[in-house]
């Protein structure tokens, strides 16, 4: 089969996430190729260490160029998968759905996962614990020492997230200068959400950001593949640095042996199911007094690099089987793999030169 793997950071050359993008592209492309498939991917030029053929679209790569390349390549392939920032992933997934067999989550599911407010409500309505969405973090009943998370309603991982310790005597005003400074979007989010709208236009930040409680616990993620059935892969430890004003993702450990493994997997599987996810899914969980689902990623995540090294199946074959056939009941796991964002940058950016 001919398979398209479209990865955003590599295609447009985004320096902020290029190392992670190269890691995901190489992992998927090489795994599909190992299964005998011909891989095609959008990029400015052939990427060293990535199996398959790079297909350019000419001119300057931007969001429109990336979408055009996806449509053109997908029409020549038997199946395809796209990895991109949450705020544009649903539209790009629709392009794949209209052009070939989509190996990722359905576009409707992607939209629900991408909108953090909608996602939180769906999960909560189905009995899954999530950090409480705060309408009035500084008003009555708020703890004087409480901290809150302000994040884009559509965003990737820890990008664009700020921590706020509000004054006890007043509410958070999402349109105030103070909150506006804290809620300034990350470069990736800002680049997409302002398409077609000048920066000088007045924006109601409450429409683009949500405020939630900052829950305490161990930062984990669960990786699984969903087809007709759900196939748990690994529980992973996330190296998350929580500062006084920001949250930073630094890497991970795959797998992470926690006594709450089964509980984490059960929660992740239920979350993915109620959101209608298919294909590879990553669920971020804070394990405290409860298991709080803080994010559902309807696409391959950076952990896929480690997963591909510790399981006894080709990750590409599993993704293909989820979309076109039946999944095995389980996978075997051998060893562990630890990585940092800096390591990905050194390895894959050097290889791509």
CATH of the domain at 285: 3.30.470.20
Q: Are residues 24 and 64 in the same domain?
A: yes
Q: What is the mean pLDDT of residues 147-161?
A: 71
* Closest residue by Cα to residue 1 from 224, 323, 330: 323
Lowest mean pLDDT of 65-69, 165-169, 206-210, 247-251, name the range. 165-169
Confidence (pLDDT) at 252: 93
pLDDT tens column, 225-282: 999 999 999 999 999 888 777 778 888 999 999 999 999 999 999 999 999 999 999 9
Token reading at 280 = 């590879």
Residues 248, 328 within the same domain: yes
Query: Could you tell me if 32 and 5 are in contact, meaning their C-beta atoms sit under 8 angstroms apart?
Result: yes
Contacts of 64 (CB under 8 A, 6+ apart): none
* Together in a domain, 336 and 223: yes
Do both 9 and 38 map to the same domain?
Answer: yes
Domain tally, the chain: 3
Six token digits for residue 318: 């599993």
Same domain, 264 and 305: yes
**In a domain? residue 48:** yes
| 263 and 289 assigned to the same domain | yes
Closest CA to 231 of 319, 310, 149, 165: 319
Does residue 142 belong to any structural domain of this protein?
A: no
Residue 282 to residues 118, 271, 295: CA-CA distances in angstroms?
Answer: 18, 10, 8
- 288-343, pLDDT tens digit by residue? 999 999 999 999 999 999 999 999 999 999 999 998 889 999 999 999 999 987 78
CATH number, residue 30: 3.40.50.11770
What pLDDT score does 287 carry?
A: 97
- Residue 335 located in a structural domain: yes
Structural domain contains residue 140: no
Residue 19: DSSP 8-state: H
Segments forming the whole domain that contains residue 331: 113-128+215-351
Residue showing tokens 């239920």:
270
Same domain, 288 and 301: yes
345/250 same-domain check? yes
Decide if 154 contacts 116 (C-beta within 8 A): yes
Nearest to 8 by CA among 21, 19, 20: 21
DSSP string, 283-302: EEEEESSSEEEEEEESS--T
Q: Are residues 74 and 8 in the same domain?
A: yes
Cβ neighbors of 170 (< 8 A, separation 6 or more) are: 138, 139
Whether residues 120 and 152 share a domain: the answer is no
If you write DSSP's letter for every residue of 46-60 in order, what string do you get? PPTT--SEEE--SS-
Spatial contact of 352 and 47, defined as CB atoms under 8 Å apart: yes
Question: 209 and 227: one domain?
Answer: no
């Amino acid at each position: 089969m001919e398979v398209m793997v479209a990865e955003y950071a590599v295609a447009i050359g985004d320096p902020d996430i290029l190392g992670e993008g190269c890691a995901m592209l190489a992992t998927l492309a090489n795994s599909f190729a190992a299964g005998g498939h011909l891989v095609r991917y959008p990029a400015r030029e052939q990427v060293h260490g990535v199996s398959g053929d790079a297909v350019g679209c000419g001119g300057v790569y931007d969001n429109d160029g990336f979408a055009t390349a996806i449509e053109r390549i997908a029409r020549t392939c038997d199946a395809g998968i796209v990895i991109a920032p949450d705020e544009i992933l649903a539209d790009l997934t629709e392009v794949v759905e209209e052009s070939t067999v989509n190996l990722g989550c359905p576009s409707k599911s992607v939209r629900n996962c991408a909108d953090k407010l909608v996602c939180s409500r769906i999960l909560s309505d189905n009995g899954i614990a999530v950090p409480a969405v705060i309408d009035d973090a500084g008003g009555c009943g708020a703890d004087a020492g409480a901290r809150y998370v302000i994040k884009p309603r559509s965003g990737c991982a820890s990008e664009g997230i700020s921590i706020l310790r509000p004054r006890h005597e007043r509410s958070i005003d999402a349109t105030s200068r103070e909150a506006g400074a804290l809620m300034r979007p990350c470069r990736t989010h800002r680049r997409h959400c302002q398409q077609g709208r000048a920066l000088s236009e007045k924006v109601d930040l409450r429409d683009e950001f949500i405020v939630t409680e900052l829950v305490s616990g161990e930062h984990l993620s669960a990786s699984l593949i969903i087809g007709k059935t759900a196939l748990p892969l690994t529980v992973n430890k996330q190296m998350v640095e929580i500062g006084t004003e920001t949250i930073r993702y630094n890497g991970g450990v795959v797998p992470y042996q926690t006594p709450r493994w089964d509980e984490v997997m059960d929660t992740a599987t239920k979350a993915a199911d109620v959101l209608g996810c298919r294909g590879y899914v990553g669920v971020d969980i804070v394990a405290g007094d409860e298991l709080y689902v803080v994010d559902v990623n309807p696409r391959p995540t950076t952990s896929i690099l480690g997963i591909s090294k510790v399981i006894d199946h080709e990750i590409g074959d599993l993704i293909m089987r989820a979309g076109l056939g039946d999944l095995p009941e389980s996978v075997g796991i051998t060893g562990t793999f630890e990585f940092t964002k800096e390591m990905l940058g050194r390895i894959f950016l050097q290889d791509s030169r």
